[in-house]
Amino acid sequence: MAKVQVLNVAVLDNPSPFGNPFQFEITFECMEDLPEDLEWKIIYVGSAESEEYDQTLDSVLVGPVPAGRHMFVFQAEAPNPALIPESDAVGVTVALITCTYRGQEFIRIGYYVNNEYTDAELRENPPNKPNYGQLQRNILASNPRVTRFHINWEGCAEKMEDSENVDPAPNAMLPPSCTPGKAPPLGLVPDNSMDCL
Amino acid sequence: MKLLKPSWVNHNGKPIFSVDIHPDGTKFATGGQGEDSGKVVIWNMAPVLREEDEKNENIPKLLCQMDNHLACVNCVRWSNNGLYLASGGDDKLVMVWKRAAFIGPSTVFGSSSKLANVEQWRCVMILRSHTGDVMDVAWSPHDVWLASCSVDNTIVIWNARKFPEIVMTLKGHTGLVKGLTWDPVGKYIASQADDHSLKVWRTMDWQLETNITKPFSECGGTTHVLRLSWSPDGQYLVSAHAMNNSGPTAQIIERDGWKTNMDFVGHRKAVTVVKFNPKIFKKKQKNGSTPKPSCPYCCCAVGSKDRSLSVWLTSLKRPLVVIHDLFDKSIMDITWTLNGLGLLVCSMDGTVAFLDFSQDELGDPLNEEEKNAIHQNIYGKSLAITMESQLASTIIENPEMLKYQQERQRNPNPNGAQGSGHENQTPKLTNVLNGESLEDIRKNLLKKQVETRTADGRRRITPLCIAQLDTGDFSPALFNSVPILPGSSASTQLTPQISSDSSTANSLGLRPSHDPTTTSPNKTAEENKDSGPAPVNSIAMKSNLLLTSASKMEPMKALDSRFTERSKATPGVTSVPITIGITPLDRVKDNSSAKELKVKDETSSDSEDKNMVKSLSLVKRKVEMEGGEVVEKRKKGRPRKDAKMMMPISQPIPQTPVSVEKEPSRLVTPVVALKLPTPSIRKSFSTQVGTDSITYLEVENDVSVVSGARLSQLKWSREGREWDTLLPSRIIIATGSSDVVAVACEDRTLSVFTACGRRLIPSIMLPAPMSALHCSGHFVMALTASATLSVWDVQKQTALVKNESLNPILSGTDATVSQSLLTQQGVAVVALSNGKTYCFNTSLETWNLIADKQDSLVQCADFRNCLSSQDALGSMGPLALTQGRNLSAGRLASRLSSTPHNLQQGITLAFLENQLSSALILLSASEYRHWLLIYARFLVNEGYEQRLRELCQDLLGPVHKSSSSSWEPTVLGLRKRDLLTEVLPVIGQNLRFQRLFTEYQDQLELLRIK
């Protein structure tokens, strides 16, 4: 069983201009003292078409982690627009937070991200070349998709033989089909509803 | 019979594989498939039982859900005591859950359900051993063992008192093991597997008792589970899927000879689960069938793959009821309520059903006596006393008993740390958060969190710990923090644990040699090297502390040589030991201002310093008598090797010699064996009286000179009220209680005043200087430098202890007195530096050992389970004061130790009895009560019936008065029968002792009426 349980992820500074750093306040609980650090990553899916556009925005080590409930804020720079296909700049995509222990990913938290122009004019007539300065990033914080993986917490990266049993459904995190620039407002609410502390 | 399908009990449509009702009947657990993991859910029972509770939105339905299992959960089972939940699943793990006290509601992150967990159940143990899916788990009677079985063909017996210890792995099945049941008598465990066999194993040696194959030979491995069950009377074992003439049955196996002559027939598909009602019933049959009217019978529910449920009475040839089409898929598990009238069934289709029977339908449950008779008959002994598994079917005979049982159920955590209600569990995070609210922390988390770079340049964040994991264990911190009663009876500077004094004293020898008065620092340094321990402790050093050069040496040798030398050099000088002035500046002033030689003056002149420096070469101590005036005797062999040792200043204490200033009191210098240190004389000091911190004693020595004699002033103040008095000699120690004030003077007199300042008795002449002085109530305790103890009751003007020597406890050891105190009841307690603490028992006139740090009983005793939260408070008192630190150490040790349970039991018992007698001898009523309750709880938990009975008997006393009885109705001022009234609820928490409970409850009641 997982020694680390993610209790909550609060999306900070949301919505925000496209160039702002991502900020996730992560609360997790650990059953026993972890001898090694956790590694957290934020991955920005540049294009639903291909993984090749995935950008790892940042990765941090978190530790030491004694038994108990902990929190930290994971801040990572905004994605590099140059690496995003122009056609995918506006619209819905996905940001992933993953956590690995001893090189094994045990949780993957996905958020739908909607990038749109705040300016009505731009929204109506999006420029061919995306104007990142005018884009607003809106993370659908209220609806995270959490996938947990069975890993071997004791040893190093020795694969658990049955981890495929619990692999996420393929394409589970692919964004819904959505015409760029035509995405309706997602009606986001601040993600405090789950925070019961 | 009523039937209910509570639709709100579901795993979002996913299969529910297991259901189990908590022994207290207030909740039940389900286990099964979650979204992408296994899922265990704890539900509130009330909304199932009562429609109005179901409709009441304030009553939570879901109490807690845990998705920690990585794959489907096949079985959930509550321990018999209700404290734990065990779950086993396809992830090969068995998890043991316990309710956590301190962490508030939370959700499962990312789950679609926004419902918060009302109760927090936390996985306290993960049991890994199986190499395949765990299909069934079962707690043994007494919760001694937990058994789990798996598709890896094995059964693992876990030591439930020492998880994750494995007692035994039972191997022998050649197919997937899919069901387990313990014999309620505790002799066997039975397992059923896909290998067409049912095996019964002995718990004595874990060997196979019997292997039953015949009824299963035709069975195919078609069922997910094979949950078999043992009848509450132990007589029958009923299997899951068996075949008889090609028809599916549930095979009845008789305990007697393991005969397989009967079965439950009628299901059209394989039987997946059999569950006996925990009660035994009896009823006169009305349906015309004709078993013997008095013959008790059992009740059994059978669930099958054919989606139907049948309920059987062993007295009937046909099922009591058969319910078809209750579910869309196979029945997976069945559980009965404690009273035997309710039944929960779960199904692969993800729903549960609740059946509510009436007594008319099932019969009258046997009461305890009848049941005992049955057990007596069958097994030659009453199971009610020994078998906790029987408790589930025990009838509560006494309404008082019921009350305590209910109280216990309301608060199943013995530490009492959790709130009683579901609703108001607020997270108690403040300890960790230093009082900051979580909101505040969150605002600044990004700025505040510690972020570093690793060697390879990666970011590394140190997470902020917002809550520690609570395992429900009693925190030893409460014991650790027992203060040494600052300002109360032990308020003077001789309480070594108020450590500035002693550490300062120790640092005497360790002073760096930059003191301007030092004339030969090198030599000092040398001396320092020679003389043992490296200087380490100089925390309390003050730069302005003006001390002699002697102070730079290892204390003892330095002082020894110094005193010898000094007595040579200045024969007339009274040399009183160096002690650290709390107010060093005063002393300096003193020294410089007064040209006359002062009694305490060890530092004044340069020439003296030089003399002393010279004397440093005298490494060996010499005892010299100068003109018979100065006598120095010092007990050898007590070097203070460890500068950190918590010991009072133990310099030699020279007697007050004839002084050149003709102070009359110093004319006589008796030869005294000096053993104990005395405090220094300070120009002025103040001390707090009592614990209320509003009463102070202030002493100012040498306030005024009247016709050549110096007077010392003693001032008492309390919230503006004050009085003062003058004494002709300088005051060494002043102390007080709420009733009296006692001061010891340099001239070896002891004066005692009332709290209003009236002198109570003329000065008491002491045989030796005062080492420690305590007041408590109207008792005064004096510990003299010659190691004698006296305790007086100044109100009654009697001596409780008269010049009692400390020799019996000091001789033969290297120890010195590290602490002394006087209890409110006038019992003198002396703690030695070797970790032993004694008190003087005035009735036996003996020194009694009440605490010993090395005591292995203390180290190993484990009674945490017997502590309640109030206990921590109740334990304040002299016993806790002397033992506090050890106790916590013992508890920690017990957690680590791997002593066998029975040995630990014995240790704990011995320890608790020691505590009781110690509290008794200390006359500490509250602690006696405290330990008595813990003792009783321990006896109840561990089932020491004889001792429990003896205890009750002593507390109750003879019911009829007789002159020959030597029974005392009170102990330490507590009425024994009142104590019994307190002990009885403790006994009442364990149904095993309900006979005992009722017996004494009744007698108490009887006496009360009288």
ipTM for this prediction: 0.77
Q: Give the pLDDT score at B638.
A: 44
pLDDT value at A177 more than 70: no
User: Band of the pLDDT at B507, cuts 50, 70, 90?
Assistant: very low
B446-455, B654-663, B677-686: lowest mean pLDDT where? B654-663
The candidate with the shortest Cα–Cα distance to B126, out of A98, A150, A74, A130, is: A150
Q: Above 90 in pLDDT, residue B136? A: yes
B69:A1 CB<8 A: yes
Q: Give the list of residues 6+ apart from residue B336 with CB closer than 8 angstroms, or none.
A: B21, B275, B276, B277, B278, B301, B342, B343
B94 vs B585, residue with greater confidence: B94
Confidence of residue A172 (pLDDT cuts 50, 70, 90): very low
Average pLDDT over residues B554-577: 39
Residues paired with B264 in a beta bridge: B250
Instruction: Tell me the β-bridge partners of B839.
Output: B829, B848
Residue in B36, B91, B449 nearest the CB of A73: B449
Residues in A touching B67 (Cβ below 8 Å): 148
Tell me the C-alpha distance between B360 and B426, whole Å: 44
Does B603 score more than 50 pLDDT? no
Structure token pair of residue B865 = 């389970």
pLDDT on residue A11:
92
Interface contact B70-A146, CB threshold 8 A: no
According to the model, what pLDDT value does residue A169 have? 40
Instruction: Give the residue with greater pLDDT, B139 vs B381.
Output: B139
The confidence score (pLDDT) of residue B251 equals: 92
A188 touches chain B (CB under 8 A): no
CB contact under 8 A, A27 and B114: no
Bond into A64 cis (ω within 30): yes
Find out whether B668 and B651 touch, Cβ atoms under 8 Å.
Answer: no
Which residue of chain A comes nearest to B457, CA vs CA?
Answer: A60
Work out the pLDDT band at B407, boundaries 50, 70, 90.
low
Q: What token pair was written down for B28? A: 């039940």
CA distance B207 to B195: 18
Is residue B455 within 8 angstroms of chain A, CB to CB? no
Confidence of residue B814 (pLDDT cuts 50, 70, 90): confident
Q: Six-digit token pair at B29?
A: 């657990």
Predicted local distance difference test score (pLDDT) of residue B544: 36
The reported pLDDT for the residue numbered B852 is: 75
Alpha helices in B570-689 (DSSP H): 584-593, 606-615
Are A62 and B460 a contacting pair at CB < 8 A?
yes
pLDDT tier, B287 (very low <50, low <70, confident <90, very high otherwise): low
Average pLDDT over residues B383-391: 42
Lowest mean pLDDT among A54-58, B261-265, B841-845: B841-845
* B892 touches A at CB < 8 Å: no
Confidence band, pLDDT 50/70/90 cuts, at residue B884: low
CA A21 to chain B, closest CA, distance in angstroms equals 12
Average pLDDT score over chain A: 78
Cβ–Cβ of A62/B109 closer than 8 Å? no
Q: Cβ of A178 under 8 Å from any chain B Cβ? A: no
pLDDT at B76: 95
Q: Determine contact: B449 vs chain A, CB below 8 A.
A: yes
Instruction: Give the model's pLDDT for residue B630.
Output: 40
**Between residues B227 and B907, the one the model is more confident about:** B227
Is residue B478 helix, strand or coil? Answer: helix
Which range among B84-93, B364-373, B440-449, B519-528 has the greatest average pLDDT? B84-93
Q: At what angle do helices B976-988 and B945-956 cross, to 10 degrees?
A: 150
Predicted pLDDT of residue B295 = 79
* Residue pairs between chains A and B whose CB atoms are closer than 8 Å: 127
Instruction: Grade residue B562 by pLDDT with cuts at 50, 70 and 90.
Output: very low
B764: number of CA atoms within 13 Å, CB side? 28
- Position B640 scores a pLDDT of 42
Q: What are phi and psi of B178, to 5 degrees?
A: -125, 10
User: What's the pLDDT score for residue A96?
Assistant: 93
Inform me whether the C-beta atom of residue B93 falls under 8 Å from chain A C-beta atoms: yes
**Per-residue tokens: B197:** 């066999």
Which helix H or strand E contains B765, and what residues bound it?
Answer: strand B759-765
CB B20 within 8 Å of CB B41: no
Whether B69 and A68 lie within 8 Å, measured CB to CB:
no
Residue contact A69–B465, C-beta within 8 A: yes
Average the pLDDT over B970-985 and give the result. Answer: 83
Q: Residue B349: its pLDDT value, please?
A: 92
A59/B461 CB distance under 8 A: no
* Higher-scoring residue by pLDDT: B596, B763: B763
Per the listing, tokens 């109705």 go with: B969
Answer yes or no: is pLDDT of B231 > 70. yes
Segment B538-559 shows an average pLDDT of 37
pLDDT band at B673 (very low <50, low <70, confident <90, very high): low
Residue predicted with more confidence, B479 or B205: B205
In the prediction, which pLDDT does B900 show?
A: 62
Please write the tens of the pLDDT for every residue from A126-155: 888 888 888 999 999 888 888 888 788 876
Quick one: average pLDDT of B650-670? 40
Indicate whether B190 pLDDT > 90.
yes
Check whether B641 has a pLDDT greater than 60. no
pLDDT beyond 80 at B946: yes
Identify the pLDDT of residue B179: 94
Query: What pLDDT, on the 0 to 100 scale, is given for residue B66?
Result: 86
Mean pLDDT of B717-746: 83
* pLDDT tens digit sequence for B357-379: 988 888 888 876 777 777 777 77
pLDDT > 60? residue B129: yes
Answer whether residue B130 shows pLDDT above 60: yes
Least CB-CB distance to A71: which of B71, B445, B458? B445
Tokens encoding B567? 């007595």
Q: What is the pLDDT of residue B666?
A: 39
Q: What is the mean pLDDT of residues B139-162?
A: 91
- Which range is most confident: A28-32, A192-196, B141-145, B442-446? B141-145
For residues B37 and B66, the answer to whether their CB atoms sit within 8 Å is: no
Q: For residue B476, say if its preceding peptide bond is cis, omega within 30 degrees of 0.
A: no
pLDDT at B752 over 70: yes
pLDDT at B976 over 90: no
The yes-or-no verdict on residue B828 having pLDDT over 50 is yes
* CB-based contact B881:B488 (threshold 8 Å): no
pLDDT band at B405 (very low <50, low <70, confident <90, very high): low
pLDDT in tens, B310-319: 999 888 888 8
Contact of B95 with chain A, judged by CB distance below 8 Å, is answered with yes
Cβ of A68 within 8 Å of Cβ of B460? The answer is no
A146 touches chain B (CB under 8 A): yes
Asked if A165 and B93 come within 8 Å (Cβ–Cβ), the reply is: no
What single string gives the DSSP state of each residue in B395-423?
PP--HHHHHHHHHHHH--STT--S-SSST
Q: What is the pLDDT of residues B42-77, one digit of tens each?
A: 999 999 998 888 888 888 888 888 888 888 999 999
Compare B815 and A141 and report the one with higher pLDDT.
A141
Nearest CA among A29, A18, A184 for reference residue A95:
A18
What pLDDT score does B598 carry? 43
Q: Is B109 on the interface with A (CB under 8 A)?
A: yes
Residue B79: pLDDT band by 50, 70, 90 thresholds? very high
